[in-house]
A and B are shown apart, each in its own frame.
Chain A
Amino acid sequence: MTGTAADTENPHLPIDALRPPRPGRWITAAVAGLVLVWLAYTIIVNENLHWDVIAAYLMDGRVLGGLWVTIQLTVLSMVIGLALGVLAAVMQLSGSPVLRGASGLYTWFFRGTPLLVQLIFWFNIGLVFPTFGIGLPFDGPKLIEWQANELITPFTAALLGLAINEGAYMAEIVRAGIRSVDPGQREAAEALGMSHRQVLRRVVLPQAMRVIIPPTGNQFISMLKTTSMVSVIAGAELLTVSQRIYLGNFEVIALLIVASIWYIVLTTIASVGQHFIEKRFERGHHALQVRVRRNLRPFSRGNV
């Protein structure tokens, strides 16, 4: 109790405490730093990595063309996949057993078979359905008809495969998002006299977005790289064009590095975008957010 008198006399009691020494942290940091420097050294001085070739092909017209196809494939298949996912999730949560069953069948099938198989299947769909048409079902008269071979280019096959596959995964993400919304929100909206559609559009989906966005961002980033699978059907995206070039000049590693650099650039930009979109949908959760952040930083200076 000796300190109490002094404490009450002085209104300013700064905490200027010394931290305990942490030799373990210093040693591991030094080792990790050394390993990194050594790795960088071996890569830079390695004569088998042709940095001049890499530099030359980084801005090559064919590579940039492939890059553009990769971006198109990613954005389009994510947009279509998200739409399919919302549709499937809403069907899954509907009262109709037929709609629930159809949605369940969709996710079950497309999550249960490999994407690679699906891509090859869509590319060869003409073997099963030689023609596509708009008209009456069950062999009725057709209004317009196309040959599958004309309709299914590597790009459309890739888009079909990626989007439909993505939709099956997005359905689960959207469903989890919708279920995360407090049922009381739905009731409050219904009590105002909103229709089912209004409840979904104005109240449930905007709140579900907070839960849907982070995994969707991950899906998008993953999709940027998944598009490389399209190379099996010669989709003309980044990896395919890189392969075409190295089959001609045998600079296999150099062109794989060129492709990898572009993939990393794309995923980095996407990560930054994801961060800002998440911010946007956190509206109204600032007060909560501060609390969560604080709890997520056990090693920050304030708490140690």
Chain B
Amino acid sequence: MAEPMVSIRSVRKRFGSVEVLKGISLDVPVGGVVCVVGPSGSGKSTLLRCVNRLETIDSGRIRVDGDLIGYAEQGDRLHHLSPAGLCRQRQGIGMVFQRFHLFPHRTALENVMEGPVVVKGVSKRDARSRALQLLERVGLADRADHYPAQLSGGQQQRVAIARSLAMDPKLMLFDEPTSALDPELVQEVLAVMRDLAASGMTMMVVTHEMNFAREVGDSLVFIDGGVIVEQGHPRDVLANPRHERFRTFLGQVL
């Protein structure tokens, strides 16, 4: 079997006295879409944030495309990765946040150009034409010169997706990308994500959108209390949830 894009092994993480991840192991194959669901406080967002090192882990190993995240292996010792090394790792991993976090002092176009220009040193001209393409792809070419405050939530989230894609990531992380949106704006964001999945992007999606998970996901993972309770093909596990906790959760969200 080919090497997975993301390999998470026995990851534990504690915040103070609360252990939020209690030994999670999970693979995301290249081009795969894994949807992570679970009640709030279950640790699903934390898991996602560990993958691009916005959170450190207390034990376990996370690899993205074979690279150990956050550490360098020399012999049988681990060394903390230098800040520059961490920046390099993050460049290959896009992240979309629940609350968009667009840069409010820059236009949609400038938001999308920011990563390539500042981090990769791409020329402004090249970054601009690429950014325009990406805005076109998320259906917002006509909003290029708008500031985030002038865009709807759904439009902001689509710009945020374009901003991540501008770095040409090999993996995209979505942290509840539609949870902060008004109901009528959810579909436009999901449509962009559906396109992205169809284009072969490897994606980890923390979400409450069960329909999206069923249609787009290759695998669905239910996390509760810091452990994976149930996982499998979305259609199967949603049709026949085996664990009582998962059934209760589905009863609440569906």
Interface 1/0s, chain B 61-88, versus A by CB < 8 A? 0000000000000000000000110011
- Residues of chain A in range 187-211 having any CB-CB distance to chain B below 8 Å: 187-196, 198, 202-203, 206-207
Q: In this complex, what residue of A is CB-closest to B115?
A: A192
Contacts A185-B103, A207-B105 given; indicate if A192 touches B97 (C-beta within 8 A): no
Contacts A193-B90, A286-B150 given; indicate if A188 touches B119 (C-beta within 8 A): no
Q: How far is the CB of A292 from chain B (nearest CB, A)?
A: 12
Interface 1/0s, chain B 202-235, versus A by CB < 8 A? 0000000000000000000000000000000000
Contacts A193-B167, A195-B87, A196-B83 given; indicate if A285 touches B101 (C-beta within 8 A): no
Q: Which residues of B contact A142 (CB under 8 A)?
A: none
Q: Is B91 an interface residue (CB 8 A)?
A: yes
Q: Which residues of A contact B87 (CB under 8 A)?
A: 193-195
Q: Is B194 an interface residue (CB 8 A)?
A: no
Q: Which residues of A contact B12 (CB under 8 A)?
A: none
Contacts A207-B104, A284-B148 given; indicate if A198 touches B97 (C-beta within 8 A): no
Q: Which residues of A contact B52 (CB under 8 A)?
A: 191
Q: In this complex, what residue of A is CB-closest to B89?
A: A193
Interface 1/0s, chain B 41-77, versus A by CB < 8 A? 0000000000010100000000000000000000000
Provide the main secondary structure of the chain A interface.
helix
Q: In this complex, what residue of B is CB-closest to A182?
A: B101
The answer to whether A188 and B97 have CB atoms under 8 Å apart is: yes
Q: How far is the CB of B104 from chain A (nearest CB, A)?
A: 5
The answer to whether A286 and B147 have CB atoms under 8 Å apart is: yes
Q: Is B114 an interface residue (CB 8 A)?
A: yes
Q: Is B9 an interface residue (CB 8 A)?
A: no
Inter-chain CA distance A185–B106, complex, in Å, is 12
Inter-chain CA distance A190–B99, complex, in Å, is 16
Q: In this complex, what residue of A is CB-closest to B52?
A: A191
Q: Is A179 an interface residue (CB 8 A)?
A: no
Q: How large is the interface on A (under 10, 10 to 19, 20 to 34, 35 or more residues)?
A: 20 to 34
Q: Is A283 an interface residue (CB 8 A)?
A: yes
Q: Is A287 an interface residue (CB 8 A)?
A: yes
Q: Which residues of A contact B239 (CB under 8 A)?
A: none
Contacts A283-B147, A284-B149, A286-B150 given; indicate if A198 touches B101 (C-beta within 8 A): no
- Residues of chain A in range 165-191 having any CB-CB distance to chain B below 8 Å: 182, 184-185, 187-191
Q: How far is the CB of B167 from chain A (nearest CB, A)?
A: 6
Q: In this complex, what residue of A is CB-closest to B93?
A: A191
Q: Which residues of B contact A192 (CB under 8 A)?
A: 90-91, 114-115, 118-119, 163-164, 167
Contacts A187-B54, A286-B150 given; indicate if A193 touches B91 (C-beta within 8 A): yes
Q: How far is the CB of A194 from chain B (nearest CB, A)?
A: 6
The answer to whether A190 and B105 have CB atoms under 8 Å apart is: no
Q: Which residues of A contact B114 (CB under 8 A)?
A: 192, 202
The answer to whether B103 and A188 have CB atoms under 8 Å apart is: yes
Inter-chain CA distance A283–B111, complex, in Å, is 14
Q: Which residues of A contact B160 (CB under 8 A)?
A: 188
- Residues of chain B in range 167-200 having any CB-CB distance to chain A below 8 Å: 167
Q: How far is the CB of B180 from chain A (nearest CB, A)?
A: 11
Interface 1/0s, chain B 9-51, versus A by CB < 8 A? 0000000000000000000000000000000000000000000
Q: A192-B115, A194-B87, A281-B105 are known contacts; what are 18 more A-B pairs with Cβ within 8 Å?
A: A185-B101, A189-B103, A190-B54, A190-B90, A191-B90, A192-B114, A192-B118, A192-B119, A192-B164, A194-B119, A202-B118, A206-B105, A283-B147, A284-B106, A284-B148, A285-B147, A287-B149, A287-B150
